Amino acid sequence: MKQAGHTMAYADASASRSGHAEAAGMLPELSSEGLESIHEVSSRNQYGVEQSVSIIDELPLTIRVDGRELVTLMTLGTHPELLVLGYLRNQTLFERPGQIRSVRVDWDRELAEVTTVEGRGVIGLDTTKRTVTTGCGQGTILSCTLDKLYDHRLPDIAVRQSDIYNVLHEVRHFNQAYRKAGSVHGCGLCQHGKVLMFIEDVGRHNAMDCISGEMWLRGMSGHDKIFYTTGRLTSEIVMKAALMGIPVLISRNGTTNMGYELARELGVTLIARAKSRHFTALNADNLIFDAIPQHAVRTGS
């Protein structure tokens, strides 16, 4: 099946997954079952005129680990193998990608078969207790994820205002599926104001998991990265950022109080309501104001 290239972009197309944290021979074998996510259908506008319109896919994908069903995710289906890997990582079910032998996606059965090296599935963890989150498409958090969450307190990393503005400028070039069909969220992994990779999916949690899966395969650290999302900065998104080791989240949307409180506890800086040269920074004592707009509104004078 054809990979939908319009939903994922890399700054360095030659970047390799080998030679990083896992030896090349120890990385999981992945199928390549990415789907085209946009379809043209007939519609009528407000004048009764027939026209073609673009709509996106929304498909169920059940993850099964060593024959045991874990969860069903709703997704565009453009990067299912990365989605599965990122989900497993962000739920803290595996510590290394080398613990997974293969991920095979079969869309005819709407199934992602995960085979582990030891062949014993998810060992010693209760995966039956789940929290349904407020993410688009409804994300899930397993209780075992919460148990390990506070092992991931992030270091205090300085972030520059100029990098925030550069990220906001760069991400405008990557949301191709949204421009064509809407109905999706986009997420980008950024460094020094540049977008390293960008993925769109029906839910921001899915897009985030896809990026997490790719980072896992490449052995990429998150400590010097910034994560951009079009969606709300909820507790789930803050959790995933901490588990990925990313200390800064940027969103054109707002945050929830639980997301803010969790960010304070885990050391995540939130840059909310970020559009053009405007933003609201929370838990941001580490923010360096090196690009204050020329006509800033000053208070107290």
Strand order in the sheet with 248-251: 8-10, 194-201, 185-191, 226-229, 248-251, 269-275, 278-282
Q: What is the residue-wise DSSP string for 108-157?
A: TTTEEEEEESSS--S-S---S-EEE-SSTT--EEEHHHHHHGGG-PPP--
Q: What is the pLDDT of residue 216?
A: 96
The domain defined by 18-150 carries CATH number 3.10.580.10: no
* C-alpha distances out from residue 220 to 120, 141, 174, 223, Å: 27, 23, 21, 9
The domain defined by 159-288 carries CATH number 3.90.1150.10: no
pLDDT tens per residue across span 157-210: 899 999 999 999 999 888 777 667 666 889 999 999 999 999 999 888 999 999
Q: What is the pLDDT of residue 132?
A: 45
Entry pTM: 0.84
Q: What is the pLDDT of residue 4?
A: 44
Q: What is the pLDDT of residue 271?
A: 96
pLDDT tens per residue across span 232-245: 999 999 999 999 99
Which residues lie closer than 8 Å to 260 by C-beta, 6 or more apart? 233, 270, 282, 283
Domains of the chain, residue spans: 18-150, 159-288
Positions of the chain with pLDDT lower than 70, given as ranges: 1-25, 124-148, 152, 178-179, 181-183, 296-301
Q: What is the pLDDT of residue 299?
A: 54
Q: What is the pLDDT of residue 16?
A: 53
Q: What is the pLDDT of residue 5?
A: 40
